[in-house]
Amino acid sequence: MITSDALSSDERDSVEALLEATSRHDGVSALDEPARLALSGPGARHLLIPAEEGAERDLAGAASAYASILPDGTVQGMVHPSVRRQGHGTALLRAALSARPDAGVWAHGALDPALEFLAAKGLEVTRRLLTLHLDLAGATSLPPVPEARIQGLELDSFVAERDADAWVQVNAQAFADHPEQGALTREDLDRRTAEPWFDPDDLMLARKNGELLGFVWVKREPAAGSEPVVAELYVVGTAPQAQGKGVAGHLIGAALHRLRDTGVQRVELYVEADNTAALELYRRWGFELAAEDVQLRLPEAG
């Protein structure tokens, strides 16, 4: 096993090939966005099991197995479908928990084999992240955009030079209790806005008298062939002084209407299973459960 704080270009290529193979086989990506960004960025600890000598052709350039430990203590990993049940997953998990006994281990898609494997190693479910979706193509109409209970609220698009630092501050306040989203830095924001999918018009801001009070960020996925045009309601945040005043609902409504009017056929989002207020808001717009990700920990890690 190779452990490092940075992947070489060849190692990164082998991990990306592994991710493609496992995603195709399992129907879900084993790595979330922070873990994918960490393949070429700083901060993560990488655990890599290369393809064994003579097996490179069978694995088509992919590594045998890989896991990462992110700075927030979350772990996620994958084993190539052709070399599963050979101890690679156990080796990765043992190494990850040795480095971070308090790690939160993601099982994306909550697939039964992954959950059974982790439960057999003594880990217990501590967090559930739901994926909801809304079929805009099949919707006959959307409810009108609800008005916020703040006079003089204005919506406009993100301008990095003007808005980046304020966005980081409001995001941290809005997600103070969220282990990943609330920890985003200016560097993290800059990396995301440099991604090919980023469009400043899809990061909509709500402000009053120049003060940033909330935002909704949309991530559009390019359509492949006959696949529907999909967008992710990436993140919605409200400053503490504006919470409970309809700002989030106003932003979500404006975003959904804009997505429908620009040809998006399906919208997806992620929400914590215990966030009942957000679930109620999204369900009012017609969102339905599509998938679930589960995080597990050792009991003594809390």
Q: Does the annotation list 161 as a binding residue?
A: no
Show Cβ contacts of residue 53 under 8 Å, excluding neighbours closer than 6 positions: none
CA distance 24 to 38: 21
Q: Find out whether 195 is annotated in a ligand binding site.
A: no
CA 94 – CA 183 distance, rounded (Å): 27
CA dihedral sign of residues 239, 245, 247, 253: positive
87 has binding-site annotation: yes
Comparing CA positions, the residue from 164, 19, 82 lying closest to residue 11 is 19
DSSP 8-class letter at 226 = T
User: Is 237 part of any known ligand binding site?
Assistant: yes
Residue 33 assigned to a binding site:
yes
The contacts of residue 191 (CB under 8 Å, 6+ apart) are 37, 41
Inter-residue contact 169 to 210 (CB < 8 Å) = no
Strand partners, 211: 208
219 assigned binding-site residue: yes
263: left (phi over 0), alpha (psi -120 to 50) or beta: left
Q: Is 85 annotated as a binding residue?
A: yes
> Is 22 labelled a binding residue?
no
Question: Does the annotation list 288 as a binding residue?
Answer: no
Please tell me whether 244 is known to bind a ligand: no
User: What is the residue type of 190?
Assistant: D
Is 66 known as a binding-site position? no
The H or E element containing residue 21 is: helix 9-26
The verdict on whether residue 61 carries a ligand-binding annotation is no
Burial of 291 per CB tally in 10 Å (0-12, 13-18, 19+): middle
SS3 32: coil
Structure tokens at 160: 């990095």
Q: Say whether 121 counts as a known binding-site residue.
A: no
The reply to whether 232 sits in an annotated binding site is: yes
> Which residue shows structure tokens 């990700």?
293
Binding site for acetyl-CoA, by residue number, is 85-90, 236-238
Binding site, by residue number, is 33, 85-90, 180, 219, 232, 236-238, 270
